[in-house]
């Protein structure tokens, strides 16, 4: 069975109402990234950082998967599909995809602030100050901040190396190490890029650019692939 690997970024969830940050001048929902998405921010102002992610979680819970998420889930009818996502939302899972690797964590879980491997489901939308992990540290959102290790990166690189067909959707490829993953895909493998603003990629070989929004470009490509 053909092995399809899809790398998704914030752009695939844009039409579900979740804002990307490259599209808003480097601000994420009005905040400087350094003020909310770094270990230093958490150290200096944990209440503000917790509040920021609580609000993001609320928006994620209110959002619904869109036609692009559903189309990728439908690909499983005919292919072995792995989605590697940079997104912290759970819209791929809610659309029905069964094999999703979250490179940057998932906002619907909480995480120990001293041992990142300790993660927990969250009851509702909020992590409260004072809620602690089993080791006694404050719980925070289960997301990878700038400057933190990306524990899933080696797994993701191996997945990309095994692709027979690769699709990139809605990522500016500005955030490393995720942006380097396309470099692990074999040279001869077709690499589709779906984005209204195609990012520049430093790969040779078979790159097919589809300059469309995710809800148009992804279902169209999936229809073709299901026809084959």
* Whether residue 104 lies in the annotated active site: yes
113 is in an annotated binding site: no
What is the distance of C-alpha 152 from the center of its chain?
A: 12
Instruction: Report the SS3 class of residue 62.
Output: helix
> Which of 4, 7, 10, 193 contacts ligand NAD by CB under 6 A?
10
In terms of Cβ atoms closer than 10 Å to its own Cβ (0-12, 13-18, 19+), residue 47 is exposed
Residue number with CB closer to ligand NAD (25 or 228): 25
Does position 211 interact with ligand NAD (CB under 6 A)? The reply is no
Dihedrals phi, psi of 148, to nearest 5 degrees: -100, 160
Residue number with CB closer to ligand NAD (40 or 129): 40
Nearest-CA neighbor of 60 among 139, 126, 157, 155?
A: 126
What is the distance of C-alpha 88 from the center of its chain?
A: 5
> Which of 213, 219, 222, 225 contacts ligand NAD by CB under 6 A?
213
Residue number with CB closer to ligand NAD (7 or 133): 7
From the candidates 69, 92, 102, 104, give the one annotated as an active-site residue: 104
88 is in an annotated binding site: yes
Nearest-CA neighbor of 75 among 209, 182, 221?
A: 221
Minimum CB–partner distance for residue 112 and ligand NAD (Å):
20
**Is there a contact between 184 and 139 (Cβ–Cβ < 8 Å)?**
no
> Which of 49, 53, 73, 199 contacts ligand NAD by CB under 6 A?
199
125 is in an annotated binding site: no
- Which residues of the shown chain bind ligand NAD in the complex (CB under 6 A)? 9-15, 18, 20-23, 86-89, 104, 170-172, 174-175, 195-197, 199, 213-214
């Amino acid at each position: 069975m053909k092995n399809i690997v899809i790398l998704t970024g914030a752009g695939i969830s844009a039409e579900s109402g979740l804002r990307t940050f490259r599209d808003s001048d480097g601000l994420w929902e009005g905040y400087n990234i350094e003020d909310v998405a770094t270990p230093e921010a958490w150290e200096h102002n944990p209440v503000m950082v917790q509040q920021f992610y609580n609000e993001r979680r609320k928006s994620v819970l209110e959002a619904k998967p869109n036609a692009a998420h559903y189309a990728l889930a439908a690909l499983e009818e005919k292919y072995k599909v792995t989605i590697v996502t940079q997104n912290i939302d759970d819209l791929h899972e809610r659309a029905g995809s069964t094999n999703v690797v979250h490179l940057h964590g998932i906002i619907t879980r909480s995480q120990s602030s001293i041992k990142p491997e300790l993660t927990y489901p969250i009851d509702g939308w909020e992590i409260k100050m004072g809620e602690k992990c089993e080791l006694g540290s404050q719980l925070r959102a289960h997301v990878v901040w700038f400057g933190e290790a990306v524990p899933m990166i080696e797994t993701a690189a191996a997945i990309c190396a095994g692709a027979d067909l690769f699709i990139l959707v809605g990522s500016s490829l500005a955030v490393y190490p995720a942006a380097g993953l396309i470099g692990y895909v074999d040279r001869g493998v077709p690499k589709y890029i779906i984005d209204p603003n195609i990012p520049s990629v430093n790969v040779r070989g078979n790159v097919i650019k589809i300059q469309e929004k995710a809800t148009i470009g992804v279902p169209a490509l999936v229809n073709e692939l299901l026809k084959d």
